[in-house]
Amino acid sequence: MDSEELRDRSRKFYDRQAVWYEATRRPFLLGRRQVIAALGLQAGETVLDVGCGTGWNIPHLRQGVGPGGRVIGLEMSGRMLERARRTGSAPNVVLRQGDASRDDVAVEPLDAALFSYSLSAIPEPERALDNVLRRLRPGGRLGIVDFRVRGAGALDALLLAHGRRCSCDFAVDPVPYLLGRGLAVRVHPQLFGYGYRLVAAQPDPQIVSERTGAGAAGAVWSARSRPPSPVRSRAGGPRTPRG
Ligand SMILES: C[S@@+](CC[C@H](N)C(=O)[O-])C[C@H]1O[C@@H](n2cnc3c(N)ncnc32)[C@H](O)[C@@H]1O
């Protein structure tokens, strides 16, 4: 399947899922509130929710940026976005239909961006990350929460197969890519290692970063100067289209 077919398949899948989405996903999509808290949103900031789905995160993001801030939700599925519009509309919320890996994700500079269980659902995750990082201000924060399968056991295979049925690739690992782009990354494993949440900070020339090592609060890596590496798939190489 080429990337065009994958996008089409993903959009149709989430269009069909929109009615059931909230009721069926809530028990499994853990860590959304925690990753938003870790973004450290400030009053007046602009935050982008990439693949905002039915808009579950929108009220929490609004609370973070306050009435003077802005929340932008970008979503590829029209049906998911319809539901987000029903519950998430507010004067300081902009909900747009678009493809994070193809379209300009925002016209304004962003203080923060969130991929909440959406990075694994985006057929071209590296392009989506590129698009977001292009708009993220120096010192801006990127939060990601998602599933991640790294082993080769029976449960791993089962989860990867389930992911494919849901039009997702749970082998996507953005950490090498973000480190390669010079971001400082803090990762917290969750779901017994089958998921993670992370916050990465765009380098700010004003701040000299240092390697800080691993601590109780999660593994911390500092920005290091090396060329960008691809978003890792299970094979350890660039992600290939899913069939
Ligand atoms: C698993 S849902 C997560 C929804 C929401 N972020 C949440 O936490 O409940 C993944 C979402 O990503 C959207 N998506 C997939 N590919 C996308 C793309 N290229 N651009 C924008 N949204 C995309 C899907 O339509 C779907 O709504």
Q: What is the pLDDT of residue 166?
A: 86
Domain that holds residue 145: 3-221
Dump pLDDT digits (tens) for 114-149.
999 999 999 999 999 999 999 999 999 999 999 999
238 pLDDT above the threshold of 70: no
236 within a domain of the structure (yes/no): no
Q: Which of 87-91, 94-98, 173-177 has the lowest mean pLDDT?
A: 87-91
- Ligand 1 atom nearest to 115, measured from its CA: 6
Q: What is the pLDDT of residue 230?
A: 56
How much is the average pLDDT of 162-183? 93
- Ligand 1 atom nearest to 99, measured from its CA: 20
Please spell the DSSP secondary structure of 62-110, one letter per residue: HHHH-TTSEEEEEES-HHHHHHHHHHH--TTEEEEE--TTTS---SS-E
Q: What is the pLDDT of residue 237?
A: 40
CA of 125 from ligand 1 middle (Å) equals 11
Rounded Cα distance, 102 and 100, in Å: 6
Q: Phi then psi for 122, rounded to 5 degrees?
A: -90, 120
228 within a domain of the structure (yes/no): no
What average pLDDT does the chain have?
86
How much is the average pLDDT of 65-72? 98
CA of 45 from ligand 1 middle (Å) equals 23
Residue closest via CA to ligand 1's atom 25 equals: 77
243 within a domain of the structure (yes/no): no
How much is the average pLDDT of 169-175? 95
106 pLDDT above the threshold of 90: no
Q: What is the pLDDT of residue 229?
A: 57
Percent of the chain residues past pLDDT 70, beyond the cut:
84
123 within a domain of the structure (yes/no): yes
CATH classification at residue 51: 3.40.50.150
If one counts the domains in the chain, the total is 1
225 pLDDT above the threshold of 80: no
Which of 13, 20, 76 best tests ligand 1's pocket when mutated (most atoms within 8 Å of CB)?
A: 76
186 within a domain of the structure (yes/no): yes
Beta-ladder partners of 196: 146, 189
Q: What is the pLDDT of residue 25?
A: 81
pTM as predicted: 0.87
28 within a domain of the structure (yes/no): yes
Q: What is the pLDDT of residue 206?
A: 64
101 within a domain of the structure (yes/no): yes
55 within a domain of the structure (yes/no): yes
87 pLDDT above the threshold of 90: no
Residue closest via CA to ligand 1's atom 8 equals: 116
How much is the average pLDDT of 18-41? 90
Amino acid at 125: P
Rounded Cα distance, 51 and 31, in Å: 16
